Amino acid sequence: MMKELRYFLKDSIRKTVDFSATRQSLGYPPPPAEKPAPGDTAVIPLPRPGELKGICGITLEEAISRRRSVRQYSSLPVSLEELAFLLWATQGFRTTPGPGGGFRTVPSAGCRHPFETYLAVFRVEGLERGLYRYLPVEHGLIFLGCPENLEARTAQAAMGQPFAGKAAVTFIWTAVPARTEWRYGEASVKVIALDAGHVCQNLYIACQAVGTGTCAIAAYDQEAADGLIGVDGEEEFVVYMAPVGKTGNFTRS
C-alpha cells in the first residue's frame, strides 16, 4: 500500500492528462483569484507594503539563517502592521491583479494560486479576537465571527497541539482546487501541495524578519479544521496551518 501512495510524489500522471479537455483549453474563464466578500461585509483595510517602513529589523541573510520552528510564544500581541506584512509576504500581489489573478510574492504552478488564508486571531493590535479571511486583491480582512472556545477549537483542529491556540494568530490555509484544475486537470494535486510549501516557507522567513516565530502544522483534524472556518470540505478544504507569535528576543536596529 505504501508504494502505491508514493505515486502522489511522482509526475507520471501528467503523461495521461488530456490537456485539450481542461477548462482553460475549452475556453472557460479562469476562476476568480479570491472568494468574494459578502456584499454587506465591511473590509478592514491593512497597511500596504509601501507604508511599512522599518518593519524588518534584520537582513534577508539573517532571516534565512535564523529560520526555525517555534512552538512557544510570549504573551505580547502582534501589531496590525506586522500581520499585514506577513499576509502580503505569503499571498499578497506584487502587481495589480486582473480578473483571473496576477503575480504574487510566492510562486504557484501556472500562476493559479489556489489558496485562501484564514486567521484565528487571539492577540493582534487593532483587531477583535475571532476568525478572519484575508482578501489579497484588496489587501484587507473580513471578520467571520468569534466562536466560543476559539483557542481550544483551534488547538483541537491541530490534532490537539496546544500551541496552535496559544499563539497571537494562527494562519489556516485552504485549497480551492478548481483554480488549478482549470489549467492542469488531474495533474493539479501534486502542484497544489508544492504551492502550499512555498507559501509557508515565506511565512517562516517573514516571521524572522519582524521578530515573530511560526511552526508549520501538517497534522490536523480535517473535519474539525474545515468546520472551524466553515468551509465545505469538498470544493474548499484546509491544507495547512501555522501559528505565529512573538518570541520575546527581538529588537530592531
Alpha carbons within 13 angstroms on the beta-carbon side of residue 127 total 32
Q: Which residue has the higher pLDDT, 39 or 242?
A: 242
Which pLDDT does position 252 carry in this prediction? 40
- 49: confidence class by pLDDT, cuts 50, 70, 90: confident
- How remote is the C-alpha of 171 from its chain's centroid? 6
Mean pLDDT of the chain: 93
Within the chain, strands assigned E span: 44-45, 115-121, 130-135, 140-145, 169-175, 212-214, 237-246
The average pLDDT across 200-210 equals 96
| Cα R_g (the chain), whole angstroms | 18
pLDDT over 50 at 72, yes or no:
yes
Alpha helices by DSSP H, listed for the chain, are 2-5, 60-65, 80-91, 150-157, 178-184, 188-209, 222-229
pLDDT over 50 at 251, yes or no:
no
Which pLDDT does position 52 carry in this prediction? 79
Which pLDDT does position 172 carry in this prediction? 98
Lowest-confidence segment of 14-23, 97-106, 149-158, 170-179 by average pLDDT? 97-106
Give the three-class secondary structure for 45: strand
Q: Which residues contact 106 (CB under 8 A, 6 or more apart)?
A: 90, 91, 113, 195, 198, 199, 202
pLDDT over 80 at 141, yes or no:
yes
Residue 5 CB neighbour total at 10 angstroms: 8
The average pLDDT across 80-108 equals 91
The average pLDDT across 144-168 equals 97
Amino acid at 86: L
Residue 11 CB neighbour total at 10 angstroms: 9
- 248: confidence class by pLDDT, cuts 50, 70, 90: low
218-223-224 Cα angle (round to 5):
80
User: Which of 127, 120, 209 has its CA nearest to residue 167?
Assistant: 120
Give the total residue count for the chain.
Answer: 253
Q: Which residue has the higher pLDDT, 73 or 100?
A: 73
